[in-house]
A and B are shown apart, each in its own frame.
Chain A
Amino acid sequence: MSRIIDVHDLNFSFGSGALSQPVLKNVTVSIQKGEIVLMTGPSGSGKTTFLTIIGGLRQAYHGSVRVLDQQLINSSEQVKVSVRQQIGYIFQQHNLLKSLTALQNVSMALEMQNRMTEQQRLDRAAEMLKAVGLGERLNYKPDQLSAGQCQRVSIARALVGQPQIVLADEPTASLDKQSGHEAVTILERLAKESQTTILLVTHDYRILDMADRIVELEDGVIKEK
């Protein structure tokens, strides 16, 4: 199996000089294609920082971070953008665009794919929304949907482009137990169907059972279980 995410001796610190605050210390992790990896750890342990580096949102300078065969250490903006386009991102809040309907929100993820026609985009987005159980809510705006429904829309948005990797940053944190569980179950099911790799950061011990592997991060150091 190929290593789709391969991190070696990643060091990262905020600030510079005397104020430098190390967040990640010699982190080494690799994730295979199709794996579902959960990353846990107390707040401030560097989980989100790690995720943003993998997702090409934050620039790291020391070590090696290979994602989809692209080196992200000291990478150009172009490399980061191309990695971002191949990754689905799910945030702690749903982060949907308030002014767009569920359908429009999901099809935003396809707008960068030039080969598709607008109709194909909308069809794919609608299909994806049906898959997350929101086929009846295509034209609702985020403020007409519940928090759980919004998070499902954002799952649909993350998956609609058929990314190889989905990164999720505490996707259940703002949801109650039931809708949180629902959302994660949908994510798991769809990921398994399409062989998508998932790296999910969470505090939530109720969802640990979906993981193939659990990685714990504490004070910037990895403890594999």
Chain B
Amino acid sequence: MNLVAWIYFPARLAWRQLIFDRTKLIAATCGVLFACVLVFMQQGFRDALYASAASAPVKLHGDLFLMHKQSEAMWRPVRFKRSELMRALGNPAVAEVYPLYLGLAPFKNIETRGKRTLMVYGFDPDSLIFDIEDIKNKRTALRLKDTVLFDEYSRPEFGPMRQLLEAGRNVTEVNDYKITVVGFFRLGVSFAADGNIATSDLNFMRIFPDRTLTDIDLGIIKLYPDSSITQVQAELSSQLNEFVNIFTYDELLQNEKNYWANMAPIGFIFGFGTVMGLVVGLVIVYQILFTDITNHRHEFATLKAMGYEHGYFIRVVFASAFFLAILGFIPGYFFSLGLYHLAESKIFMPMPMTFGKAMTVFLFILSMCMTAGFLAIHKLKAANPADMF
């Protein structure tokens, strides 16, 4: 028997049986669709989390990054001495080094006077370590005392800063220290901080009086053009003290992602949500296939009496599972696409629908349906012609 007939005939029978009962088909499709949307949303939130966790490092402009070995992630850094960063200048390939100061501080909403924590970035305004046009353009304004730039993508709880600024109300408090908002930039919120402000290193020290310029959170190293990043990384790791990590740009991003995926419970939560979605879908599809076999057991027994082999019916069940996966996935995809757009506009988190994500979810759903089929085939034993007639 050739392979096409081997799978085509049972698949055709499965399809004909599926479309015969439209109501049941729609119910079955909805079950798969439900699982599909659930998994898509969990994956979407998880990826949004990773993307937003890395939103600050993504905009950093540098070749190598120094971080204390005990720093788990950028939002909770362990400080190290600026002199350690300066030592990197001893390497002939290193062109410039810049410290970055990070701190979480309460920001007072100008309208409600409520306080909410955001992330404060302090750096030399002339260093151009952020690849953000608005920060580059405002660097003269940032050189002034007690001036900050406000991240427009911060959560709305910080107040409608743009309107307030246009109305001339631009003075508020960060860490109980009076500052003036002189402009905006766009970075994005993360799970660690609901908002961001950028300021000069000197202003940073004024906002955080117990911090000193000599204790830094992150060091940014720029190399001369044409120098090998990995080679300099290797050289620096032997030259610098061993308590600092030297990351390339990609490694820094990966480090941030890994923190949220593995160290923080959040990665686990979304993984768990995905598994639960698949389990619910599995139970639904199993139930559908199981009832289907029960309803068709007379027909299957008849076919068996006509000389059809047991394997034929196994293929029928798997083909049904396959069709359910496809039929549920297609509407599930478009439904999730809509929900992604809704989420992007409501919670300000990037939720792109990528081909890779669609493929991953499809493979999840497919294996879910196939597992359900695998569990359901034992019911085929009920289709025994000898007991039926």
Show the binding face of A for B, using Cβ within 8 Å: 48, 52, 55, 57-59, 77, 81-82, 84-87, 89, 91-92, 95, 97-100, 104, 108-109, 111-112, 114, 157, 169
A108 pairs with B17, CB closer than 8 A: no
Residues of B contacting A58 in the complex (Cβ-Cβ under 8 angstroms): 386
The CA of A46 and the CA of B385, in the complex, are separated in Å by 16
B308 pairs with A95, CB closer than 8 A: no
Min CB–CB distance B1 → chain A (angstroms): 5
Q: Is B347 an interface residue (CB 8 A)?
A: no
B389 pairs with A112, CB closer than 8 A: no
Min CB–CB distance B156 → chain A (angstroms): 55
Show the binding face of B for A, using Cβ within 8 Å: 1-2, 5, 9, 13, 16-17, 19-21, 298-299, 302-310, 385-386, 389
A-B contact pairs, 26 of them (CB 8 A): A48-B389, A52-B385, A52-B389, A57-B304, A57-B386, A81-B307, A81-B309, A84-B306, A89-B305, A95-B299, A95-B302, A97-B13, A97-B299, A97-B302, A97-B303, A99-B16, A99-B19, A99-B21, A100-B13, A100-B16, A108-B13, A108-B303, A111-B9, A112-B307, A114-B5, A157-B306
The CA of A104 and the CA of B309, in the complex, are separated in Å by 19
Min CB–CB distance A68 → chain B (angstroms): 13
A84 pairs with B20, CB closer than 8 A: no
B302 pairs with A99, CB closer than 8 A: no
Residues of B contacting A82 in the complex (Cβ-Cβ under 8 angstroms): 307
Q: Apart from A55-B305, A108-B303, A157-B306, list 8 A-B contacts with CB within 8 A.
A: A57-B385, A59-B386, A86-B307, A95-B298, A97-B13, A98-B299, A99-B17, A109-B306
B20 pairs with A98, CB closer than 8 A: yes
Out of A59, A92, A97, A114, which one reaches B389, CB within 8 Å? A92
The CA of A87 and the CA of B2, in the complex, are separated in Å by 24
A85 pairs with B1, CB closer than 8 A: no
- Most chain A CB within 10 A, of B1, B5, B302, B306, is at B306
The CA of A111 and the CA of B315, in the complex, are separated in Å by 15
A89 pairs with B306, CB closer than 8 A: yes
A57 pairs with B9, CB closer than 8 A: no
In the A-B complex, the 8 residue pairs with the smallest Cβ-Cβ separation, listed nearest first, are A85-B307, A99-B20, A84-B307, A58-B386, A95-B302, A57-B385, A99-B17, A57-B386
Residues of B contacting A104 in the complex (Cβ-Cβ under 8 angstroms): 16
The CA of A109 and the CA of B305, in the complex, are separated in Å by 11
Min CB–CB distance A155 → chain B (angstroms): 13
Residues of A contacting B389 in the complex (Cβ-Cβ under 8 angstroms): 48, 52, 57, 91-92, 169
Residues of B contacting A108 in the complex (Cβ-Cβ under 8 angstroms): 13, 303, 306
The CA of A104 and the CA of B13, in the complex, are separated in Å by 10
Known A-B contacts A57-B389, A91-B302; the reply to A112 vs B308 at CB < 8 A is yes
Residues of B contacting A112 in the complex (Cβ-Cβ under 8 angstroms): 306-308
The CA of A114 and the CA of B1, in the complex, are separated in Å by 6
CB-based nearest A residue for B310:
A77
The CA of A4 and the CA of B16, in the complex, are separated in Å by 37
The CA of A112 and the CA of B306, in the complex, are separated in Å by 9
CB-based nearest B residue for A80:
B307
CB-based nearest A residue for B385:
A57
B17 pairs with A57, CB closer than 8 A: no
The CA of A97 and the CA of B316, in the complex, are separated in Å by 14
A52 pairs with B386, CB closer than 8 A: yes
Out of B5, B305, B309, which one reaches A57, CB within 8 Å? B305
Min CB–CB distance A140 → chain B (angstroms): 14
- Most chain A CB within 10 A, of B13, B17, B298, B386, is at B386
Residues of A contacting B305 in the complex (Cβ-Cβ under 8 angstroms): 55, 57, 84, 89, 91
Residues of A contacting B9 in the complex (Cβ-Cβ under 8 angstroms): 111
The CA of A55 and the CA of B305, in the complex, are separated in Å by 8
The CA of A87 and the CA of B316, in the complex, are separated in Å by 23
